[in-house]
Amino acid sequence: MTSKTHKVYSVSFALIVGMVMYKNNITVVNYYLSLLILLLISKQGALFPDVDHIWKNVKEKTTVNWIINKLIHITGGKHRSWQTHSIDIWAIFGFITRFLPNYLYNKGVIDIVNKEVLSLVLIGFISGWGSHLFSDMLTPEGVRLVCWNNFKLKFVPRAVGRLKFNTGGSWEEFNYKTMRIINIIIGVISILLPFIPNITILITPNM
């Protein structure tokens, strides 16, 4: 998928993650403020995996992206690289996201305010990255399940009859337009959520 489609997927993921966090009291940060942070960081997380393109095709030519791009290419990656398009690597970062802020807080390295902000930033990033992997699974190239193996996870074949599922075609345009509508619906629900009584979204024990 292209960056505009990855961005719209990142919005729905961020809103859903924000609502789940709110209903399970995962952060003490104000709900609407946490939604705002999640949305902003999730977008960055969704654009980050495709920094593995050759440099001239990377959209945001920032210093940070240049460094990430060089690291990926030096270690043998090319587009849909194992470094940024593997579910196991994403899961490892998810694990770090889950435990690092609490670890640093318990060690006295950061205070409670910084722990909460760090958590939100990491959760936003991992949410956006996850949305990227999910939407790339809606293309025939798919994403790696594990970084050391070429096996790809994907939800669609190369084509069904005349309908092709490739990036940049009518399938992607359909995804983009559908997700924009879904984002409006989820956006309205997320704004109203604190006023809707007794709605349970997800119970996440130990979170």
Q: Give me the residues that bind Zn ion (CB under 5 A), please.
A: 49-50, 136
CA dihedral of 190, 196, 202, 206, whole degrees rounded to 10? 100
Tell me how far, at minimum, the Cβ of 49 lies from Zn ion, in Å.
5
Three-state DSSP state, 153: strand
| Whether 147 contacts 82, CB under 8 Å | yes
> For residue 48, which of 76, 29, 67, 26 has the smallest C-alpha distance?
67
User: In the complex with Zn ion, which residue's Cβ is closer, 119 or 139?
Assistant: 139
Q: What is the DSSP letter of 160?
A: E
Tell me how far, at minimum, the Cβ of 151 lies from Zn ion, in Å.
17
The residue to which tokens 């043998």 are assigned: 76
Q: What is the DSSP letter of 143?
A: E
Tell me how far, at minimum, the Cβ of 38 lies from Zn ion, in Å.
21
Tell me how far, at minimum, the Cβ of 112 lies from Zn ion, in Å.
36
Distance CA 188, CA 37 (A): 17
User: In the complex with Zn ion, which residue's Cβ is closer, 50 or 172?
Assistant: 50
User: In the complex with Zn ion, which residue's Cβ is closer, 116 or 136?
Assistant: 136
User: In the complex with Zn ion, which residue's Cβ is closer, 49 or 128?
Assistant: 49
Tell me how far, at minimum, the Cβ of 107 lies from Zn ion, in Å.
35
User: In the complex with Zn ion, which residue's Cβ is closer, 79 or 164?
Assistant: 79
Cβ-based neighbours of 65, under 8 Å, separated by 6 or more: 51, 58
